[in-house]
Amino acid sequence: MDTVSFYIAFIAGILTILPIAGAPFGTRPNIVFILADDLGWHDVGYHDSIIRTPNIDKLAAEGVKLENYYVTPLCTPTRAVLMTGRYQIHTGMQHGVLMAQEPRCLPTDEVLMPQKLKESGYTTHMVGKWHLGFYKWACTPNHRGFDTFFGMYLAGGDYFNHTRLCHGRRLAAWDLRDGDQVVAPEYVGKYSTIVFAEKAQEIIKKHDPTNPLFLYLSFQAVHAPLQVPERYINMYKDDIRDESRRIYAGMTTCMDEAIGNVTRTLARRGLLDNTIIVFSSDNGGAKLYGASNYPLRGQKGTLYEGGVRAPAFVYSPLLSNRVRGTATHELMYVGDWFPTFLHLAGGNLHGVKPLDGVNQWHTVSAAMPSKRTEIVHNIEPLRGKPPRVKDEPWLTNPYFDIRVMASIRVGEWKLITGRKGDPTWTIPPELGGGSVDPGRPTIVELYHIKEDPLERTDLSRDRPDIVNKLLERLRYHSDTSRLPETPTPVFDTSDPLHHNMAWGPWE
């Protein structure tokens, strides 16, 4: 290497370890990650929605909108990917969501994001929904790297009473904790979205600014059940006639207000100027409960775009004027936050299992091309397989069992196999309502997402060469996957009747 090339390479290497563009060398930014639950693609104001989200819209407009950003189809798998930086197929979390009395959790041999951030000097806090298992204490947030935890272990609980029904009976048990202690009775009547925001604000107010802050604010909203204080529903009484959609809209606006309150607290505390805020949904919206992924196809639980493409953005005063107020269409994935945050923290990957996420900070902060060219949306070997179709040309392919529910994106090409779930395009009620059903889907579907983001034209018969290449990639990833665990639910020792009527560890 000549002298000039050496110095160019040396300077490039230095630039890659600078924590953040525009920040003083050595400064570690505060990181606030806000995760919405079941928020639809169409359900933020900046996606032309009737739903009012002024705080989200303002942050997105002053930051970088991530318009080609993906999560997984369901709650638990997305949270597993976020915390580990690894595909759900590599942690065994690819099958469904965690239920209350399952003796399983995100494997405790996985090193999680908050653990690595703590190593870099961060104070780590979690507020909100965990949903990664709790059958033993080692599975719970306070034992997985968070200094503090205030929130719920499960999903689908009552927003006001902070209870979750027990299996097979109309008996509800508490599901709200401060650390390891049950505090649900103290908050009865208080709406969880507001409670979680207030708890986050309390953490911010007490934070010692000499240490960097990591705050994971994981809202219960806007997941079912459809509940919100009446004043938020009334905001839409003249705009949305459909009751479910109207309540859902109120829930979303309440969450938006909560995000505004948290952001203003960061500013008043003098922390916002050195803070990065990331906002994301965990999966597509559930149309049965008022959400809309319009104009994308499918919904929560499906591998179509409406199930896996999420509204997301990055906001920070640390972003340069070059990128603030822009949208990136570079390919990004929820698993990319682990290495991105670790890069910003000046951390290392010692002890971490091989990551599937990639550091995307230069994509966000400098409008550089994404380092990502591929996403495994999921490989779900335990989901029921569709019957064989005699004329399916790939039934005997040498690569992958096309009856398995799976999907992969390579470049602009996306392949879906096996069961599809809801394949429709659904129009929100305020735009006329109704669904367009494509008829019975084939077992193998191929789409060019850049040219056909709505997945209207299946090209599998036209491009068998691409189908075979993607099937081969699915085989590669399937061979590296960890089989999901499906332990028999424990209905005796896990019963909340044995634990002061609260959901909690039983082993």
Name the active-site residue from 42, 75, 207, 254. 75
Q: 3-class DSSP state for residue 474?
A: helix
Q: Letter for the amino acid at 79? A: R
Q: In terms of Cα–Cα distance, which of 140, 125, 145, 122 is closest to 181?
A: 140
For 309, which DSSP code?
B
Residue 254 appears among annotated catalytic residues: no
Q: CA dist 437 to 317, 331, 441, Å?
A: 44, 28, 10
Q: Let me know: does 76 contact 83? Beta carbons within 8 Å.
A: no
**Cα 507 from Cα 496, distance rounded (Å):** 13
Q: What is the DSSP string of 43-99?
A: -SGGGT-SS--HHHHHHHHHSEEESSEE--SSHHHHHHHHHHSS-GGGTT--SS---
Q: Let me know: does 461 contact 385? Beta carbons within 8 Å.
A: no
Residue 448 appears among annotated catalytic residues: no
Q: 3-class DSSP state for residue 193?
A: helix
Contacts of 363 (CB under 8 A, 6+ apart): 328, 330, 332, 369, 370, 371
Name the active-site residue from 42, 95, 131, 343. 131
Enzyme catalytic residues? 75, 131
